Structure 1
Amino acid sequence: MPRVSRPSSDLPPGQASAPTLDEVASRAGVSRATASRAINGGDRVSATARAAVEAAVRELGYTPNPAARSLVTRRTDSVALVVPEPDERVFSDPFFVHTLRGVNRMLAARDLQLVLLLARPGDERRLLRYLGSRHVDGAIVVSHHRDDQLADHLAALALPCAFIGRPWTSADRVAYVDTDNVAGGRAATELLIERGCRRIATIAGPGDMAAGIDRLKGWRAALRAAHLADDLVGHGDFTEHGGEMAARQLLERAPDLDGIVAASDLMAAGALRALADAGRVVPDDVAVIGYDDVGVPGRTTPPLTTVRNPIGEMAEQAVRLLLEQINDQRGPRPMRVIFPPALVRRDSA
């Protein structure tokens, strides 16, 4: 096999040059075009040639020119994580921290760059202009709302995308992963009914998010099946403060309530504070259940019973669905993966 002499790495700075694609091809004993296809993921390369090129790349320490590579592959090797939420919520809510960690872990293992895009209300036009310019190969969207219409817009752009959580619209046009939130809300409520609770309230999530609506639907279905009243509904914003305020209002409306199902662990933690201030003992006076099982349950007093939302697994699956679209010549297409919820029993219920 032909060999190419290289300048010694011991030479003074400036005298050693970076290895070129021609040198990789010569070292591997293939044409320049074959070497380029092997490095850039082309499919018209034999296994033998690909192995020889990969060996030459390692031996020479060759690094592809990103600009030249993008011209060949039409790829940026970057993926956007789109979060249409205020900055302060993104960096304080464990849900987003675990989502970001799961997505980044999957992308890093494939040598892809994560681009975090935060979009406050009203920023959609700027966000869509960036995505429409194909600065990224695809997008993963989390915590979307009815009015942002991101699923509609991304489907129209034909940009590969995957949503974490069922989109409010265009669910039949885009890929998404989710947990069965209706089943989760129902299971949490049934646990309280089994405990003997009869005045069960809920702190529902935002009414413009599918998760908020679905968890409320599950709570209501369980109560109706047990022939219990479903009038004690408070609304929060998936934050601890929102949960606390909603719990205080529910206690004023129904001092005799004996159970609370909160649509997130942060809201459940807020409810625990409101109950403690009101002199209610948990779970003796009021049993409380949250939703997510990420970070919060271990720090509450008492430890929080909750519904496990498999956030890490959903984030990783969303990346798989996105990369499948990016690497498939058919482009974007609708796919869905639904994870089952699971009750995690602790002392609050």
Structure 2
Amino acid sequence: MPDEHAAEPAPPTVTEVAAAAGVSAATVSRVLTGRVRVSTSARVQVHDAIARLGYVRHRAPRRTDHQAVDLPMAAVVFEPAVRLFRDGFCARLLAGAEEELSRHGVPLLTMSAIRGTVSSATRFLTDGGVGGVLLVGAPGRHPLAVSLAASLVPLRAAGRPELAIPYVDVDNRDGARQAVEHLLLRGRRTIAMIAGPPDSPAAADRLDGYRHAMLAAGRQPLAAYGDFSTPSGGHAAAWLLDRTPRLDALFVASDAMAAGALQALRKAGRRVPEDVAVVGFDDAPLAAFTTPALTTVRQPVEDLGAVTAALLLAPDPAPENPILPTELVVRAST
């Protein structure tokens, strides 16, 4: 029988990270702070070791309210700047964060994260010039995300990350459940899904919610994958139609992909919703203007940004990772 009182394994140390990376502890420290030039190969080895061991430095004590107000917050978006300004999701999330921070007199700095600027970005974000960092769309092994996760800077992600850091997320699984149950209530029998990229936690959660809802109803799941873009939704819908001609419903993991699916259905001569019902996810502005208007799962994007920002401001934030509810918005596509 296992010993219930056995001590939990100690968290990994800098020395252990150094040993796993095959470098010195001083090199690990330099990589974490970004203050000293380190060879690319050594930096990659350190980041890999940190991600593999799950190393996280203990956070520094929170600043007082007065100190926090004196410092800006930084939002780091892991997308190229050109996509950042085109992406409605990011714009809405940052608007929510900015509005919450502005109520406390705290400015929000926004920057995109590209691999060529990791050292300078790490230096800027960990030198004490910002009161906290809000991560948006952080890939698990991105060197900047790994460095920030191991640093002392207050940190929280908008959306569940792959790294073990605090976050705020929306209930993607329950949103998928709502979509599937709505289609079942509409009498649809063969419900397929166009899922997002497998390496996206949000996409994985939506796919998991879809599968559970289908199996609970005694139906067989069937999924194709896109990359959240409109063309990928069209390609995935065409593939599903070819594989399952009797398909009569689609749940799509983003409204942009759903717009592509609607185009593919029109091209195939399928009427929406008479032949195939379609549900998207996001309730992006475009959802109300597709033909027909898109039934979709609304996620509270502005609230996601606001709650994440509020937790960064809190002198002693709650350890829980809040999950915000989603809501089905019914329009003409179902």
Do the two structures share a fold, i.e. TM-score over 0.5? Answer: yes
Give the equivalent residue in structure 1 for 2:321. Answer: 336
1:149 deviates by 6.7
Q: Spell out the pairing of 1:171-210 with structure 2 (5 A cutoff).
A: 174-210=165-201
Give the conservation status (yes or no) of the 8 Å contact 2:69–2:106: no
Indicate which of 257, 276, 297 corresponds to 1:307: 297
Give the equivalent residue in structure 1 for 2:333. Answer: 348
Indicate which of 209, 223, 240 corresponds to 1:218: 209
1:220 deviates by 0.6
1:191 deviates by 1.2
Indicate which of 245, 248, 253 corresponds to 2:235: 245
**Matched residue of 1:285: which SS?**
coil
Cα distance change on mapping 1:279 and 1:114 into 2, 3 Å: same
Cα distance change on mapping 1:111 and 1:93 into 2, 3 Å: same
CA distance in 1 between partners of 2:80 and 2:153 (Å) = 24
Give the equivalent residue in structure 2 for 1:263. Answer: 253
Question: Could you list the per-position Cα deviations for residues 80-127 of structure 1 after superposition, in whole angstroms to 9, with x for gaps in the alignment?
Answer: 111101333322222111112111212222222221111135654543
CA distance in 2 between partners of 1:194 and 1:212 (Å) = 24
Count of aligned pairs between the two proteins: 271
Q: Is residue 135 of structure 1 aligned with residue 129 of structure 2?
A: yes
Cα distance change on mapping 1:284 and 1:217 into 2, 3 Å: same
**Matched residue of 1:147: which SS?**
coil
Give the equivalent residue in structure 2 for 1:60. Answer: none
Give the conservation status (yes or no) of the 8 Å contact 2:140–2:163: yes
Q: Which amino acid aligns with 1:264?
A: S
Q: Is residue 90 of structure 1 aligned with residue 84 of structure 2?
A: yes
Question: Could you list the per-position Cα deviations for residues 125-174 of structure 1 after superposition, in whole angstroms to 9, with x for gaps in the alignment?
Answer: 5433332223322111112223327665333202112211112120xxx3
CA distance in 2 between partners of 1:74 and 1:267 (Å) = 40
Cα distance change on mapping 1:165 and 1:205 into 2, 3 Å: same
Give the conservation status (yes or no) of the 8 Å contact 2:113–2:144: no
TM-score (norm 1): 0.72
Indicate which of 269, 274, 279 corresponds to 1:289: 279
Give the equivalent residue in structure 2 for 1:80. Answer: 74
Give the conservation status (yes or no) of the 8 Å contact 1:321–1:335: no
Give the conservation status (yes or no) of the 8 Å contact 1:260–1:286: yes
Q: Which amino acid aligns with 1:138?
A: G
Give the conservation status (yes or no) of the 8 Å contact 1:85–1:121: no
Give the equivalent residue in structure 2 for 1:228. Answer: 219
Give the equivalent residue in structure 2 for 1:66. Answer: none
Give the conservation status (yes or no) of the 8 Å contact 1:76–1:136: no
Question: Could you list the per-position Cα deviations for residues 41-82 of structure 1 after superposition, in whole angstroms to 9, with x for gaps in the alignment?
Answer: 76xxxxxxxxxxxxxxxxxxxxxxxxxxxxxx5976211111
1:260 deviates by 0.8
CA distance in 2 between partners of 1:227 and 1:248 (Å) = 25
Cα distance change on mapping 1:150 and 1:250 into 2, 3 Å: farther
Give the conservation status (yes or no) of the 8 Å contact 2:283–2:297: yes
Q: Which amino acid aligns with 2:94?
A: L
Give the conservation status (yes or no) of the 8 Å contact 1:76–1:135: no
Give the equivalent residue in structure 2 for 1:167. Answer: 161
Give the conservation status (yes or no) of the 8 Å contact 2:96–2:305: yes
Structure number with greater Rg is 1
Q: Which amino acid aligns with 1:341?
A: T
Q: What are the ranges of 5 or more consecutive residues in structure 1 without an aligned counterpart?
A: 1-39, 43-72
Cα distance change on mapping 1:122 and 1:270 into 2, 3 Å: farther
CA distance in 1 between partners of 2:125 and 2:78 (Å) = 14
CA distance in 1 between partners of 2:182 and 2:143 (Å) = 35
Q: Is residue 147 of structure 1 aligned with residue 132 of structure 2?
A: no
Q: What are the ranges of 5 or more consecutive residues in structure 2 without an aligned counterpart?
A: 1-63
Q: Which amino acid aligns with 2:183?
A: L
Q: Is residue 272 of structure 1 aligned with residue 259 of structure 2?
A: no
Aligned Cα root-mean-square deviation (Å) = 2.2
**Matched residue of 2:258: which SS?**
helix
Cα distance change on mapping 1:191 and 1:148 into 2, 3 Å: same
CA distance in 2 between partners of 1:125 and 1:209 (Å) = 25
Question: Could you list the per-position Cα deviations for residues 176-227 of structure 1 after superposition, in whole angstroms to 9, with x for gaps in the alignment?
Answer: 1111111111111111122122221111111111101000001111111122
CA distance in 1 between partners of 2:259 and 2:184 (Å) = 21
Give the equivalent residue in structure 1 for 2:5. Answer: none
CA distance in 2 between partners of 1:217 and 1:122 (Å) = 35
Give the conservation status (yes or no) of the 8 Å contact 1:146–1:208: no
Give the conservation status (yes or no) of the 8 Å contact 1:175–1:321: no
